Structure 1
Amino acid sequence: MERASENRRPAVGKPVPGIGEMLNRRPPLRDINNLIGAPPYPSAIAKNPMLEKSGKEEQKRALVGHRPMTRNFAASLTRKEQLGHQDNVTDAAVACIDPQKKLIPDDTVDDDLLESRESLDDITVDETERDDTEEEEFMMDIDSVDSGNPLAATEYVEEMYKFYRENEETSCVQPDYMSSQEDINEKMRAILIDWLIEVHYKFDLMDETLFLTVNIIDRFLEKQVVPRKELQLVGVTAMFLACKYEEVSVPVVEDLVLISDRAYTKGQILEMEKLILNTLQFNMSVPTPYVFMRRFLKAANSDKQLELLSFFLLELSLVEYQMLKYKPSLLAAAAVYTAQCAISRWQHWTKICELHSRYTGDQLLECSRMMVDFHQKAGAGKLTGVHRKYSTFKFGCAAKAEPALFLLESGASGAT
């Protein structure tokens, strides 16, 4: 690559000749003498094909200089040759009449002007050829603003999310796993998770902790039959494990005993902790909707309003058992898509969002409509923990935003 670039770079002290200089260059005597004996009329000049061809090739090489020969640049050279053809014929005719007469350059030709026009044409051609490539690179590069932030891991963030997509199936459960349970059902699961969302809010825990807690509960219930009286014990223990994995400051076991109204002892919580870890084979590293949500919000160039509304819709989906049929990445993408539609009041899903989420608006529409329905009914019924949480000023009163009801229309289609 370095050798190629050196070949294209003009030598120091030897500037590349401009178009004006090349068109007005004085021809060698031997070229003029080749025309002796030709009829003294411009229309009757007998051309030497080999001489003309070699002259054009030399001129093209000089004009090209260090530039690559593209189709557009070749076309511009051809146009210039056609425009200069008549002047070249006239000069040749004069040389035939008086072989000793030197061709004097036309002082009226502005070399700088010709060179500036050529440079402008070159820049325009190059920019046109690079438009598609630069747009694609711009669409893909959403991490440039974080290039100086070591916590953003911009050097390998794409590899991370490639790994998440390849392994998100490991965090999923069968959407009908509750059929194997004898004493609990999906309504009891919804009550438990709605209560844990309130506990999570009171302890002021990180968002990652909540999503990992719900994931641990579902994966454990899929593999282990649990009696009704121990369901809450599974919930508080799952949150205890998620805190150990995600939090800097972990709640003590006594806090969990108090929050569960002393329904369980410290020993029972520790025993359940061992049972859950053994059942899940100590696998706490799974991609939850949270990791995808952060990436898709970044692709959407989100503000605080979009972020809070997206998380509100996603937490509403955590409570609903029927949403287990969707992969974590699709849940996160649908939450961002639905929130954008609710804010803008039209179907909004950009090419950048589609590129990074790997989902089109049409693919998200089914899940998005379900989220709109949850949003519409969030303040009603008995399970209102998420609605109360996002009705506070701390969470921007996101629950009070108008739902995107137009997505429920049967004629709605994916966004562009």
Structure 2
Amino acid sequence: MDRVDENSRGMMKPATFRDMGDRRALKDIRNLVGAPPYPCAINKRGLTEKSNLDDKNPSFVARRPVTRKFAATLASKPQAYRQHEQVGNESQHEMLPPSVSSSTALDSSIAIDVDNCSLSDDIELPTVEEMEEMDNCDLKEVEMEDIVAETVPDIDSCDSNNTLAVVEYVEEIYNFYRQTEVTGCASPQYMSHQFDINEKMRAILIDWLIEVHYKFELMEETLFLTVNIIDRFLARQTVVRKKLQLVGVTAMLLACKYEEVSVPVVEDLVLISDRAYTRDEILDMERLILNTLQFNMSVPTPYVFMRRFLKAADSDRKLELLSFFIIELCLVEYKMLKFRPSLLAAAAIYTAQCSLRGFKYWTKTSEMHTAYSEEQLLECTQLMVDFHQKAGLGKLTGVHRKYSTFKYGHTAKSAPALFLMNTGLQC
């Protein structure tokens, strides 16, 4: 009779077939009712961390794979358990023959002599309650990791389809602004090197330029760049007072050429200065300023940070106008040169929020995007509140008149946040 292939589908070996070869008869594996269990049968008690070796055949050690959960189980056991385990391990290594290495003994792929091995009952498995407690600890650990790894909130998702918003690398742009903003600032002590002009003359010039800027209906970027050019130039070049207005109108001409689409002609600047200077004088001053500043017109002004920080603050039109009103008041003040442009922008928005709400308000999103806390903004904010309170007083009221118009929503009439002057900020 031909041999039947056991692996062939749909074919069964006849019951009378007795050519068993070396295979053990079915009755020999002690599967009869009432027979004692086979010594090497695998059960739950057998899945312990190690098994005792039979004295007659100390060949290999059966080990449970050390998973993360099992490692946590061992770590949670008392010290006595660890000492007991260490003694057991030492006894096992002593029982291993010299020809068998420890790495070989731990290899789970090597067959075990099942006829001679006996399973150990010395080490108890953790109870169900212990396993559930360890699982809960793992979950708590993951939850804590998620809380610690807090990311900066995404404020650019709404502009994902706007190519001009460059959301793919807008963060890199503002990281670069932060790295270079100090190099684009003028020294806050440069007036000490000027022999014919002072802080008050500078304030008069800036206040007048704000009115010129409003009359020409120029972009906001132009005003901030104009003031930056004036301060950087005066920090490097001494100027007599009769030429100070010439420096101002020329700086505005340069800022218009950099920022504006339609640039005012030189004759317009001659007329606005009441013909105090000629066309040639303006062009000569233009060359002098450019050479002094080494043609560096690309500097981060407070305006670029204002736009980003207002977006982080989820601003509306009212908050935006009040923030710009406050920061333009700072342009007139020489003492505000000691603050970085990014700090000025953050403090202006914070002051405006406090003024509109009537209490201290600074969200976590604003703090993360501006990198300034309320405590860091305190000194600058208190100065801004003072400027806001005195905006309509004195002779330099150009900013107040500008923001008192309907175009700017009568923002100048808003009440200042005086409570920031009297109380400190809480961390």
Which TM-score applies when normalising by structure 1?
Answer: 0.71
Check the 8 A contact 2:30/2:36 in 1, yes or no: no
1:400 aligns with 2:413: yes
Q: CA contact under 8 A between 2:207 and 2:397: conserved in structure 1?
A: yes
The equivalent of 2:381 in structure 1 is: 368
Q: Counterparts of 1:371 and 1:35 in 2: how far apart (Å)?
A: 94
Residues in 1 aligned to 2:197 and 2:269: alpha-carbon distance in whole angstroms: 22
- CA drift of 1:213 comes to 0.1
Number of residue-to-residue matches in the alignment: 333
* TM-score, structure 2 as length reference: 0.70
Provide closer, same or farther for how the CA distance between residues 48 and 250 of structure 1 changes in structure 2, counting only shifts above 3 A.
closer
Match of 1:348 among 361, 377, 392: 361
1:413 equivalenced with 2:409 (yes/no): no
CA RMSD of aligned residues (A): 3.8
- Kept in 1: contact 2:350–2:361 (CA 8 A): yes
Amino acid at match of 2:175: K
Partner of 2:10: none
1:9-408 equivalences in 2 (<5 Å): 37=36, 49-50=45-46, 82=128, 128=143, 132=147, 136-137=150-151, 139-408=152-421
Structure 1 runs (4+) deviating above 3 angstroms are 30-38, 51-54, 124-131
Please give the alpha-carbon distance, in whole angstroms, between the structure 2 residues aligned to 1:174 and 1:388. 30
Letter aligned with residue 263 of structure 1 = A
Within 1, Cα distance between the matches of 2:324 and 2:34?
84
| CA shift in 2, pair 1:395/1:49, >3 Å | same
CA distance in 1, matches of 2:142, 2:163: 33
Distance 1:35 1:155 in 2: 74
The answer to whether the Cα contact below 8 Å between 1:333 and 1:357 also exists between their aligned partners in 2 is yes
The verdict on how the C-alpha distance between 1:166 and 1:51 changes in structure 2, with shifts beyond 3 A counting, is: closer
Letter in 2 for 1:238: A
TM-aligned CA distance change 1:184 to 1:35, over 3 Å = farther
Secondary structure of the residue that 2:183 maps to in structure 1?
helix
Q: 2-side partners of 1:171 and 1:340: how far apart? A: 28
Question: Is the alpha carbon distance of 1:132 and 1:274 closer, same or farther for their aligned partners in structure 2, counting shifts above 3 Å?
Answer: same
Do the aligned partners of 2:213 and 2:223 also contact (CA within 8 Å) in 1? yes
- In 2, distance between residues paired with 1:194 and 1:366? 24
Alignment-mate amino acid for residue 82 of structure 1:
V
1:360-388 C-alpha deviation (Å, 9 max, x unpaired)? 10010000000000000000000000000
Unaligned regions of 5+ residues in structure 1, if any?
A: 1-29, 39-46, 62-67, 72-80, 86-120
Rounded to whole Å, the distance in 2 between the matches of 1:240 and 1:133 is 50
Q: 1:166 to 1:50 in 2, by over 3 A?
A: same
For 2:128, the aligned partner's letter is Q
* Paired amino acid for 1:160: I
Structure whose CA Rg is larger: 2
Q: Deviations over 1:191-210 (max 9, x none)?
A: 00000000000111111000
Deviations 1:303-336 (CA, angstroms, capped at 9, x unpaired): 1111110000000000000101111111111101
Could you tell me which residue of structure 2 aligns to residue 12 of structure 1? none
More helix by share: 1
Equivalent residue for 2:111?
none
Counterparts of 1:376 and 1:32, CA distance in 2: 97
Q: Is the 8 A contact 2:191 2:199 kept in 1?
A: yes
CA distance in 2, matches of 1:156, 1:228: 45
Contact map agreement 1:406 1:412 (CA 8 A) in 2: no
Structure 2, gaps ≥5 residues long: 1-28, 38-42, 51-62, 73-126
For residues 32 and 223 of structure 1, the distance between their equivalents in structure 2, rounded to whole angstroms, comes to 101
The Cα shift of 1:127 comes to: 9.5
1:200/1:48 CA distance change after superposition, 3 Å: closer
CA distance in 2 between partners of 1:31 and 1:208 (Å): 93
User: Is the alpha carbon distance of 1:200 and 1:283 closer, same or farther for their aligned partners in structure 2, counting shifts above 3 Å?
Assistant: same
Cα pair distance change 1:382/1:52, threshold 3 Å: same
Q: 1:235 to 1:32 in 2, by over 3 A?
A: farther
**Structure 1's 145 and 262: CA in aligned 2 closer, same or farther, altered over 3 A?**
same
